[in-house]
Amino acid sequence: MWTWFHKLASPPHVYRIAGLLVPWFGWVGGVLIAVGVVWGLRFAPADYQQGDGFRILYVHAPSAWMSMFTYVVMALAAGIGLIWRMKVAHAVAASCAPIGAAFTASALVTGALWGQRMWGTWWVWDARLTSELILLFLYFGYIALRSAYDDQQRADRASAILALVGVVNIPIIHYSVVWWNTLHQAASVTKLARPSIAPEMLIPLILMFFGFNIVFGAVLLTRLRGEVLLRERNADWIRALVAQP
Amino acid sequence: MSLMEFLHMGGYAAYVWPSYAFTALALGWMTLAARRAHRNALSAARKRLAMEKSAS
């Protein structure tokens, strides 16, 4: 079992498998998003309160979900890298940060547009919005901290600790609409009870969620391949790989 | 539904379309940046190997 695991997590193996998976993930995720966008914009019925404005949900909610999910993946990978001194895990963590930052920016911008229309303001300093902004700064801080070290191992360890400390922000974001009074509406899909959203509105949202997650997988694996190449610069398998025409 | 009606988004066009555009931008950027990072790493490895060869 452990030899199998070590073989699986060995850099040349990761590089090769990731290369095989990327096109599949990219196309499947891309098609899901395309179908979700057309369905969400054209065929889902308008909301009885928010009219066609609610269609921002289809890009806002998946972006916001991915902004948190990416952070959890990053923190988990950083933790695994710290505890088991696994280079590939550190490479995964480092690959997550720019992707998470992009999702967070998307969540904030689409949220501001939605807020301006529905609440009459781009921004309020309430718990949900502020904690999401802190998430963006955590990603930026993580990237900046990594680039401050020349030594790869030090960068890995210091940034892993930042990632692990910052994970406390994730439950704060998620429960902020429950714990504090906020303009932000409460969750309508991830409730434990039945989701309070009509099925014909829900299906495109589910497509978008899956599409975003799978595209994230493709982008993460592509970045991971680059990271592995940089880290393993002197390994023989890279010589062999590069020597190929 | 006419095309103009669709683009009008029931009066929410100025909010719906920029939202979708920005999210598309974010997804497009992360895809292209990841591919560029991988390509750069590959060409750096190639350069290093070529330098080693010319040095030896």
**pLDDT in the model for residue A201:** 87
In sequence order, which residues have a C-beta less than 8 Å from that of residue A189 and are 6 or more positions away? Answer: A61, A195, A197, A202, A205
Which pLDDT tens digit goes with each residue over A93-147?
999 999 999 999 999 999 999 998 888 888 888 889 999 999 999 999 999 999 9
pLDDT tier at A199 (50, 70, 90 boundaries)? confident
B38: tokens are 């991988």
Amino acid at A165: V
Q: Which of A105, A230, A238 comes nearest B26 by C-beta?
A: A105
CA neighbor of A25 nearest in space, from A226, A222, A234, A225: A222
> If interface means Cβ-Cβ distance under 8 Å, which residues of chain B face chain A?
6, 9-12, 15-16, 18-20, 22-23, 26-27, 29-31, 33-35, 37-42, 44-46, 48-49
| Mean model confidence pLDDT for chain A | 90
- Domains in chain A, please, with CATH? 12-243 (1.20.120)
**pLDDT in the model for residue A243:** 76
Q: Over 80: is that where the pLDDT of A7 sits?
A: no
Residues of chain B with pLDDT under 70: 56
* pTM higher than the cut 0.80: yes
Asked if the C-beta of A109 comes within 8 angstroms of chain B's C-beta atoms, the answer is: yes
Quote the DSSP letter at residue B1.
Answer: -
In sequence order, which residues have a C-beta less than 8 Å from that of residue B35 and are 6 or more positions away? Answer: A222
CA closest to B3 among chain A residues: A42
pLDDT tier at A237 (50, 70, 90 boundaries)? confident
Q: Which of A113, A229, A241 comes nearest B15 by C-beta?
A: A113
Query: SS in 3 state form for chain A?
Result: CHHHHHHHCCHHHHHHHHHHHHHHHHHHHHHHHHHHHHHHHHHCCCECCCEHHHHHHHHHHHHHHHHHHHHHHHHHHHHHHHHHCCHHHHHHHHHHHHHHHHHHHHHHHHHHHHHHHHCCCCCCCCHHHHHHHHHHHHHHHHHHHHHHCCCHHHHHHHHHHHHHHHCCHHHHHHHHHHHCCCCCCCCCCCCCCCCCCCHHHHHHHHHHHHHHHHHHHHHHHHHHHHHHHHHCCCCHHHHHHHHCC
User: Residue A218 in contact with residue A28, Cβ under 8 Å?
Assistant: no
A56 and B19 within 8 Å at the Cβ level: the answer is: yes
Q: Over 70: is that where the pLDDT of A190 sits?
A: no
B17: tokens are 């379309």
Q: Over 90: is that where the pLDDT of A195 sits?
A: no
B49 and A242 within 8 Å at the Cβ level: the answer is: yes
pLDDT tier at A69 (50, 70, 90 boundaries)? very high
CA closest to A34 among chain B residues: B24
Separation CA A134–CA A166 (nearest Å):
9
Q: What b-and-e string marks burial along A88-105, b requiring 16 or more CB atoms within 10 Å of the CB?
A: bbbbbbbbbbbbbbbbbb
Separation CA B56–CA B37 (nearest Å):
29
**pLDDT in the model for residue A193:** 55
Which pLDDT tens digit goes with each residue over A20-50?
999 999 999 999 999 999 999 998 888 888 8
For chain A, give the percent of residues with pLDDT over 70. 94
Distance in Å from the first CA to the final CA of chain B: 71
**pLDDT in the model for residue A159:** 97
**pLDDT in the model for residue A191:** 53
**pLDDT in the model for residue B15:** 93
**pLDDT in the model for residue A181:** 72
Stretch A63-69: mean pLDDT: 97
A130: tokens are 């502020």
Stretch A179-203: mean pLDDT: 72
Least confident of A29-38, A48-57, A73-82: A48-57
**pLDDT in the model for residue A189:** 62
Stretch A199-224: mean pLDDT: 95
Q: Which of residues 127-156 of A touch B (CB under 8 A)?
A: none
Quote the DSSP letter at residue B10.
Answer: G
Burial class (CB in 10 A: 0-12, 13-18, 19+), B27: buried
Which pLDDT tens digit goes with each residue over A146-173?
999 999 999 999 999 999 999 999 999 9
State whether ipTM is beyond 0.90: yes
**pLDDT in the model for residue B51:** 84
Separation CA B16–CA A148 (nearest Å):
39
Half-sphere exposure of B11 (CA within 13 A, CB side): 5
**pLDDT in the model for residue B1:** 73
Polymer length in residues for chain A: 245
